[in-house]
Amino acid sequence: MAVAVQLTHVTKAFDTTIAVNDVSLEIEKGEFFFLLGPSGCGKSTFLRIVAGFYKPDTGELRFDDTVMNDVPPHQRNTGMVFQNYALWPHMSVAENIEYGLTLRKLEKAERTEKIERALEMVQMADFRDRAVNTLSGGQQQRIALARALVIEPSVLLLDEPISNLDAALRQQMRDEIKQIHDRTNITMFYVTHDQVDALSMADRMAIMQDGVVIQVGTPREVYQFPKNAFVASFVGETNFISGKIEQASNGSATIETSAGTLHSTTIYHELTQGTPVQCSIRPEALVIDNDQNGGNPIENRITAKVTAVNYLGRVEEYQLMVSEDLPLKAVHYNPGTETKKPGDTVHLSISADAVIPLPNF
């Protein structure tokens, strides 16, 4: 049965390095929750605290109403999928999946039934008797997932499980893992540095930096309303234009910048006149040579020079320079046969709701 996971003021240090610093977080029962952050931010330590491999130095971990701080890993009913699969190379596919069931002393008939069900869940029923060292990386990842699922865990922990796969297989595994969650409704806790994994799969996500959780929300909330410049740059690509608030009221602001005056209608921080800010503008929000904005007046215009063009099929990326110290990136979806060239001067339009002023903290 799925459980809610709650961490309250949890800290974990190794010598003088604080890996997890006074973190409080709640994962709801049946939720697909992501912890996203750069390498070394503490996210894997966080996962191992939930698994029971590390004990918090301070704070409390609960599964529903049960305090888990002193409960050993094998009594937590958690399943774990590792980045390197961690399969037994001398065992067959079925024997690897059966291992956790054998430790739980289930009868042979019940073990066989559960193995078959787990293999069907990951679409590997025809590989039951194969040696795992004859399988591809994607197939091994499915077996690692089946081994974790077969014990019917209360919490499934995933530690960057698809980072070793190629791009096409990663997308396929994202879809399959998401479908498995939707079918089983298990509480899943997934750590990764890959924003695409988190944005495409998570119910909610937390962004971690230097052992601290910076922001928690749905993928849409975190992408559209980042708390600070770190979140804006880590979750998706963005452009930053430095400036100062000229005027702010009623959810709107005018900002003085090196690119000229910008207007914003996306204000969700306390901003007053003179406050220094970083204006976050996503590449897809920069519209090139567009005189209309859905029939509405265009609030912001910038002139720039094209320095590079990258054609990627479904999108075309433009590297731009507004001035010597102000580069920008624009993305044009579904590009046609006509394109801008390096050296061309272009006029950019930006909707006021796409300019997000973030305070410098």
150 with 115: CB under 8 angstroms?
A: yes
- How many angstroms separate the CA atoms of 225 and 269, rounded? 10
- Are residue 169 and residue 299 in the same domain, yes or no? no
State how far the Cα of 315 lies from the Cα of 305, in Å rounded to an integer. Answer: 19
Query: Which among 171, 151, 153 has a CA at the least distance from the CA of 162?
Result: 171
* Three-point CA angle 142, 98, 126, nearest 5°: 50
What is the percent of the chain with per-residue pLDDT over 90, rounded to a whole number?
A: 71
- 151 and 56, same structural domain? yes
Task: Please indicate, yes or no, whether residues 125 and 269 belong to a single structural domain of this protein.
Answer: no
Distance, CA of 140 to chain centre: 23
Query: The domain spanning residue 279 has which CATH number?
Result: 2.40.50.100
For the segment 304-331, what is each residue's pLDDT rounded down to a tens digit? 999 999 998 889 999 999 999 999 999 9
When pLDDT is cut at 50, 70 and 90, the band that residue 297 belongs to is low
119 with 251, same domain: the answer is no
Q: In angstroms, how far is CA 295 from the centroid of its own chain?
A: 35
Range in 37-46, 69-78, 95-104, 217-226 with the lowest mean pLDDT: 95-104
Q: Are strands 326-333 and 315-323 parallel, antiparallel or unpaired?
A: antiparallel
Q: DSSP class of residue 235?
A: S
DSSP category for residue 353: G
Q: Are residues 222 and 263 in the same domain?
A: no
Residue 80 maps to which CATH number? Answer: 3.40.50.300
Please identify, among 195, 229, 263, the residue that sits at the C-terminal boundary of a domain: 229
What pLDDT is stored for residue 282 in this prediction?
Answer: 97
308 and 345 assigned to the same domain:
yes
At which of 229, 254, 281 does a domain end?
229
H or E stretch covering 195: helix 195-201
Give me the domain span that covers residue 187: 5-229
What are the angstrom distances between the C-alpha of 253 and each of 248, 271, 359?
A: 4, 8, 13
220 and 243 part of one domain: no
Same domain, 203 and 182: yes
Adjacent-strand bridge partners of 276: 244
Helix or strand run (H / E) with residue 253: strand 252-257
- Kindly tell me if the per-residue pLDDT of 277 is higher than 80: yes
Residue of 114, 191, 107, 173 lying closest to 148 (CA atoms): 114
Tell me, yes or no, whether 241 and 216 share the same domain. no
How confident is residue 104, by pLDDT bands cut at 50, 70 and 90?
Answer: confident
For the stretch 157-201, pLDDT in tens is: 999 888 888 888 888 889 989 999 998 899 999 999 999 999 999
Instruction: Write down which residue in 187, 211, 229 finishes a domain.
Output: 229
Residues 53 and 145 both lie in one domain:
yes
User: What's the structural domain count of the chain?
Assistant: 2
Q: At residue 4, does pLDDT exceed 90?
A: yes
295 pLDDT higher than 90: no
Asked if residue 224 and residue 245 are part of one domain, the reply reads: no
217 in the same domain as 143: yes
């791009």: which residue's tokens?
167
Indicate the pairing of strand 5-14 with strand 58-63: antiparallel
pLDDT at 213: 97
